[in-house]
Chain A
């Protein structure tokens, strides 16, 4: 037993020394490369911007996506920066969501200049397709990099799969299960009770062309609206709710002003393509988010219905990408509360 204990201690000592040496080598020579490989560029943004900005604007692609036809190519955060006397910096990256924001906010130091955080509250990100998206594994890997840890610990966590690394097939299966099983909050006389039923109903020739053929592009888009927006947020189990709740707690701890910017969705198309039932569900989710976070003392900027259908850049898909008109509307709406 004595021999075993001695060996055990020796092993621990060697592992400890290895870790210390490895941390030095890794940080000096390899860390930056891993940040690049994992596309975790927001870490560098927060490291630099927190010392020069008063406001940090956390967002996904809604912030920086512009249309080729736009004469003004400014992002929403840059527009806010122009309109506001405060210095505003963007911490943004395509497809990220609240879990990434949470990790990034942990990196804000007590001596940073930041006083206010504006975080996009994207209602679509609470739905199953985004929660179980095929790039979720990549995002989870990047989130490990965003954690405020020793670089070598982050590397070990990555190497030993200490994140949600479900396969794409598994994520698809979960999505399919949610679509088939989760009951929708719709009137009792509505013929479809689940997303799968509704999607199938819509897919079966709802839109026809004058010659009697199916209008496939329109049907595809309508089905996509259903699969993307037809969900009810369960505040007990939805991981995004948990992430946003944690953000609220963290901001309180760090004594930062918190603003949630509820992004605009294409309500016009949701109505015209699918109908009032979908609009009802979307509005219910919107109200739930506003009520929940207003109660928690967060300022919620409601831009949900502010942008016209034609001012969305992607006319054949569901995104929160706005042309310059849309972006200015959103920026002005945020600036109102920053003054």
Chain B
């Protein structure tokens, strides 16, 4: 079920009302049924995959806690293999067939579609067994709560990827009906819908036009399309995450923030502390640190950084383009680190430096997004060539509606105002008339100017 669907607009209020009407001890049943229904709306049979993950990791968690050291490791590896195996089969099998088909001609592609959000579920569930193994988390005895941790519908298909320590506890807490939670949740949902439907969905047709036939457009248009995709992907994912956080908030449950104005970052290092924070945290905790983190020699450290970025790219999709996208981020991250080592620490950073750093970072990130958006390397190379061909002869044109431009300006203003804050916190402190003017403007924008063509959330495919 999509957040921006009529289906959800009916489903969610019913769940919220029932949630507060029910006694705490029965709420897990409601959330389990609601989450199952929510996911089944995409494709019913795939709910079994989630149930499989739940059962495996629930049992593994209990066994890890009970077992001695060697057996603990065995059950952890079993959990990892089960989760990654599932992910590999559904997401990477055909990719590996392409890679190895020359060596093993008998390999055949399978006709399958990727279960929505599989990478998110598996990573979230894995974090639980790893934490139990490390002794930081007690194994959950109640399968209902654990099931809801994996299935919790606001964040099940595109994150944020939560730890059991956070979400598990939130799910177990007896949340009382509070007006402030309802108001905060509705504000976040409204803003998330605006960002997704008015910004992302209105930039999408322009980006699609360009990427469907990049050679039809001249360099200037190519750059416009590249920046448009930067906006689209941010608005798409940020919008989704904001709705997810808002939906959970209505139930009294706090989810972590997944974004913190990433395009205001003045370096790649900062960018990765502000973009898809939950995934960055996951890779840092469960890949980078176990590899030795920063406490290794320089060469190993460089290797670790590149490996983490490459894996992060591969997590997004089974394509070379994603791996190279990750590696490109790793390369710039390392270059930036080396560059900063050269500059004496005594020189204070000025505003101008920050602005220039911000522009450079945003431009490079925008260029690298090409690898993320292009279906294959050939297309990515064509797009790069088009950007740097410096021709001004175009067979086609890209256009942005006036209304979209105005909404984009509204979005930028909000992003500046929300620096180091969140939409619900910021609005709460405003005068009632300003607040309701904001609500009315956003509602009117959604009703009148949201994109009418169907664009799924980009991160659903991951």
Contacts and interface: CB of A to CB of B under 8 A. Distances in A.
Interface of A: 3-4, 14-15, 18-19, 21-22, 25-26, 30, 34, 37-38, 137, 141, 152, 155-162, 165, 167, 169-170, 173, 176
B443 interface: yes
Contact of B443 (A15, A25, A161, A165): A15
Contact of A161 (B4, B43, B440): B4
13 contacts: A14-B439, A14-B443, A15-B443, A18-B444, A22-B444, A141-B454, A158-B452, A159-B4, A159-B447, A159-B450, A159-B451, A161-B2, A161-B5
A157 B2 CA distance: 13
A176 B452 contact: no
Nearest to B444: A18
A288 B7 CA distance: 36
A213 to B, nearest CB: 22
Contact of A18 (B5, B7, B440): B440
B452 A37 contact: yes
Contacts of A34: 452
Contacts of A169: 113
A170 B43 contact: yes
Contacts of B436: 14
B200 to A, nearest CB: 13
B113 to A, nearest CB: 5
B111 A160 contact: no
B113 A38 contact: no
A22 B445 CA distance: 9
Contact of A176 (B111, B179, B453): B111
Nearest to B179: A4
Interface in B408-462: 436, 439-440, 443-444, 446-448, 450-454, 456
B305 interface: no
A22 B440 CA distance: 11
A167 B456 contact: yes
A137 B440 CA distance: 31
Nearest to A4: B179
A155 B9 CA distance: 15
A141 B6 CA distance: 14
Given A30-B448, A157-B6, A160-B6, 14 more contacts: A14-B443, A18-B440, A19-B447, A34-B452, A37-B452, A137-B454, A141-B452, A158-B452, A159-B4, A159-B452, A165-B454, A167-B456, A169-B113, A173-B112
Given A18-B440, A30-B448, A161 B454 contact: yes
B450 to A, nearest CB: 4
Contacts of A158: 452
Nearest to B113: A169
B179 A3 contact: yes
Contact of A160 (B9, B443, B448): B9
Contacts of A152: 447
A25 B448 contact: yes
A244 B436 CA distance: 47
Contacts of B5: 160-162
Contact of A38 (B7, B111, B452): B452
Most buried by A among B111, B439, B448, B451: B448
A156 B2 CA distance: 15
Contacts of A170: 43, 113
Contacts of A141: 452-454
Contacts of B43: 170
A4 B182 CA distance: 10
Given A4-B179, A162-B6, A173 B113 contact: yes
Interface in B40-77: 43
B197 interface: yes
Contacts of A37: 452-453
Contacts of B4: 159-161
A267 to B, nearest CB: 31
B117 to A, nearest CB: 14
A334 B453 CA distance: 38
A161 B6 contact: yes
Interface in B100-153: 111-113
Residue from A137, A159, A169 with most neighbouring chain B CB atoms (10 Å): A159
B255 to A, nearest CB: 23
Nearest to B460: A167
A165 B453 CA distance: 10
Contacts of A159: 4, 197, 446-447, 450-452
Contacts of A15: 443
Contacts of A161: 2, 4-7, 454
Nearest to B198: A159
A38 B446 CA distance: 18
Nearest to A34: B452
Most chain A CB within 10 A, of B179, B439, B453, B456, is at B453
A26 B403 CA distance: 12
Contacts of B456: 167
Contacts of A25: 448
Given A4-B179, A160-B4, A160-B9, A21 B444 contact: yes
| The 10 residue pairs across chains A and B that have the minimum distance between CB atoms | A162-B6, A158-B452, A161-B5, A159-B450, A22-B447, A169-B113, A165-B454, A160-B6, A18-B443, A22-B448
